């Protein structure tokens, strides 16, 4: 059986008046955890090697008419370089919108694979490159298209809402795509229209959205290897050691963690919460990659990661996505020199179908002034 932290029973979900899909097969859980544990890590660089690579990348970006589109969770050197070269550092919603608007003919997406796929769905005429196409996402992996499509077919009366952390094929099966910054608003909108929902893939986010909206949700049982590892028992000990601290948390975190949080939100929303907080110490329940931008926004704050160690812990992630960590200055330079084998390609039929729910999301968010 998988670790208890990787499962949420259907009876627990029923206590919050929502249904659930069957648990993810044990074999798939083990496969995802194994991939996370064995994701390759970039080698350490000397300051001289790093500076030489940065100079090389600057020239290559200009030569390729390329722009960097980077997620908050990757190495801070990549975030710094992205800002310095006029690119974009942000969350999934901002990344999708930025790539859609920028004039560059080559988009270099520094994150995980679904982010590159989203960029290609929105920009079929552009070349979309990634430093490593092997950079997966456990939420994507825990929602395979065949199983998910079969589940949707069993509930044809429900509107299918999928998190952006999914494959192009899953998006193509959906009615709406959401991110953590707009999931509550979009599902509340659908609930107000009387629609019943299938929500996938993150079970913790799905539960949070249901609690905030009261919507009738059937919840897929996917998980993020980073957020799912956060331990409430260890968090309580940490909070006791820092009684003056506030806890800010991403909604992919388990319910017992969210129940203790002073603020809950997407990565961008958490950075704003850190900036607005009067506390000098913040305990942060999301990927530690966010600390770079959070320190920029709130330089006076002490930031502490929520524990993944302690009793019953396995530390698959240790508060940092192993696939985000695969991005490096070295493979970024390599992909700009020779994009062969690093370009995102999507079947055109799938792309067109996936475009519909993504555009629907962007139109909704633009109307609300969120992008």
Is residue 128 within 8 A of residue 116, CB to CB? The reply is yes
**Which CATH number goes with the domain that contains 156?**
3.40.50.10800
Q: Is the domain of 213 the same as that of 232?
A: no
Q: Is residue 32 part of a domain?
A: no
Q: Is the domain of 293 the same as that of 258?
A: yes
**Lookup: tokens for 39:** 């994701």
Q: Is the domain of 145 the same as that of 214?
A: yes
- Within 10 angstroms of residue 207's Cβ, the number of other Cβ atoms is 23
- Within 10 angstroms of residue 14's Cβ, the number of other Cβ atoms is 11
Q: Is the domain of 194 the same as that of 236?
A: no
- Residue that finishes a domain, picked among 198, 219, 240: 219
Q: Is residue 19 part of a domain?
A: no
**Lookup: tokens for 243:** 């009684």
Q: Is the domain of 147 the same as that of 208?
A: yes
Peptide bond into 6 cis (omega under 30): no
Question: What's the confidence (pLDDT) of residue 352?
Answer: 98
Q: Is the domain of 155 the same as that of 117?
A: no
Question: What's the confidence (pLDDT) of residue 78?
Answer: 98
Q: Is the domain of 299 the same as that of 282?
A: yes
Question: What's the confidence (pLDDT) of residue 24?
Answer: 86
Pairwise CA distance, residues 205 & 320, whole Å: 18
Pairwise CA distance, residues 165 & 177, whole Å: 9
Pairwise CA distance, residues 78 & 82, whole Å: 6
Where in the sequence is the domain holding 251, given as residue range(s)? 227-305
Question: What's the confidence (pLDDT) of residue 231?
Answer: 86
Q: Is the domain of 68 the same as that of 129?
A: yes
Residues whose CB is less than 8 angstroms from the CB of residue 198 and which lie 6 or more positions away in sequence, other chains included: 151, 152, 155, 158, 159, 160, 161, 217, 218, 220
Q: Is the domain of 201 the same as that of 175?
A: yes
The tally of domains found in the chain comes to 3
Question: What's the confidence (pLDDT) of residue 7?
Answer: 30
Q: Is the domain of 154 the same as that of 168?
A: yes
What is the Cβ-side half-sphere exposure of residue 370, based on CA atoms within 13 angstroms? 24
Whether the full predicted model's pTM is greater than 0.85, yes or no, is yes
* Sheet containing 66-71: order of strands: 88-90, 66-71, 106-110, 127-129
Pairwise CA distance, residues 198 & 216, whole Å: 9
Tell me the pLDDT of the chain (371 aa) as tens digits.
233 333 333 333 333 346 787 788 999 999 999 999 899 999 999 999 999 999 999 999 999 999 999 999 999 999 999 999 999 999 988 998 898 889 999 999 999 999 999 999 999 999 999 999 999 999 999 999 999 999 999 999 999 999 999 999 999 999 999 999 999 999 999 999 999 999 999 999 999 999 999 999 999 999 999 999 898 888 999 999 999 999 999 999 999 999 999 999 999 999 999 999 999 999 999 999 999 999 999 999 999 998 875 444 444 446 899 999 999 999 999 999 998 899 999 999 999 999 999 999 999 999 988 77
Residues whose CB is less than 8 angstroms from the CB of residue 365 and which lie 6 or more positions away in sequence, other chains included: 93, 97, 181, 182, 371
Residues whose CB is less than 8 angstroms from the CB of residue 232 and which lie 6 or more positions away in sequence, other chains included: 254, 256, 257, 260
Q: Is the domain of 208 the same as that of 238?
A: no
Question: What's the confidence (pLDDT) of residue 309?
Answer: 56
Q: Is the domain of 93 the same as that of 105?
A: yes
């Amino acid at each position: 059986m998988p670790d208890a932290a990787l499962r949420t029973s259907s009876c627990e979900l029923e206590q919050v008046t929502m249904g659930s899909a069957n648990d993810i097969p044990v074999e798939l859980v083990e496969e995802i955890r194994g991939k996370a544990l064995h994701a390759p890590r970039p080698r350490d660089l000397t300051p001289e090697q790093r500076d030489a690579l940065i100079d090389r990348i600057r020239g290559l970006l200009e030569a390729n008419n390329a722009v960097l589109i980077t997620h908050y969770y990757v190495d801070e050197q990549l975030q710094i370089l992205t800002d310095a070269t006029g690119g974009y550092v942000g969350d999934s919603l901002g990344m999708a919108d930025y790539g859609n608007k920028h004039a560059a003919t080559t988009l270099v997406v520094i994150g995980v694979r679904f982010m590159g796929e989203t960029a290609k769905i929105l920009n079929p005429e552009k070349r979309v490159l990634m430093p490593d196409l092997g950079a997966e996402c456990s939420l994507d992996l825990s929602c395979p298209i065949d199983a998910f499509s079969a589940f949707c077919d069993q509930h044809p009366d429900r509107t299918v809402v999928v998190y952006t952390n999914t494959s192009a094929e899953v998006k193509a099966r959906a009615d709406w795509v959401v991110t953590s910054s707009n999931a509550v608003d979009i599902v509340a909108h659908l609930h107000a229209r009387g629609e019943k929902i299938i929500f996938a893939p993150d079970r913790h986010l799905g539960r949070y959205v249901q609690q905030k909206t009261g919507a009738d949700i059937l919840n897929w049982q996917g998980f993020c290897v980073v957020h799912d590892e956060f331990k409430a028992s260890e968090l309580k000990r940490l909070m006791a050691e820092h009684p003056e601290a506030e806890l800010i948390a991403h909604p992919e975190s388990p319910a017992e963690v969210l129940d203790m949080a002073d603020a809950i939100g997407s990565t961008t929303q958490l950075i704003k919460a850190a900036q607005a907080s009067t506390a000098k110490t913040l305990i942060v329940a999301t990927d530690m990659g966010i600390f770079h931008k959070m320190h920029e926004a709130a330089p006076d704050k002490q930031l502490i990661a929520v524990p993944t160690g302690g009793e019953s812990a396995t530390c698959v992630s240790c508060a940092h996505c192993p696939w985000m960590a695969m991005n490096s200055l070295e493979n970024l330079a390599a992909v700009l020199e020779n994009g062969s084998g690093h370009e995102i390609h999507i079947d055109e039929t799938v792309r067109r179908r996936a475009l519909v729910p993504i555009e629907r999301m962007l139109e909704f968010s633009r109307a609300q002034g969120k992008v």
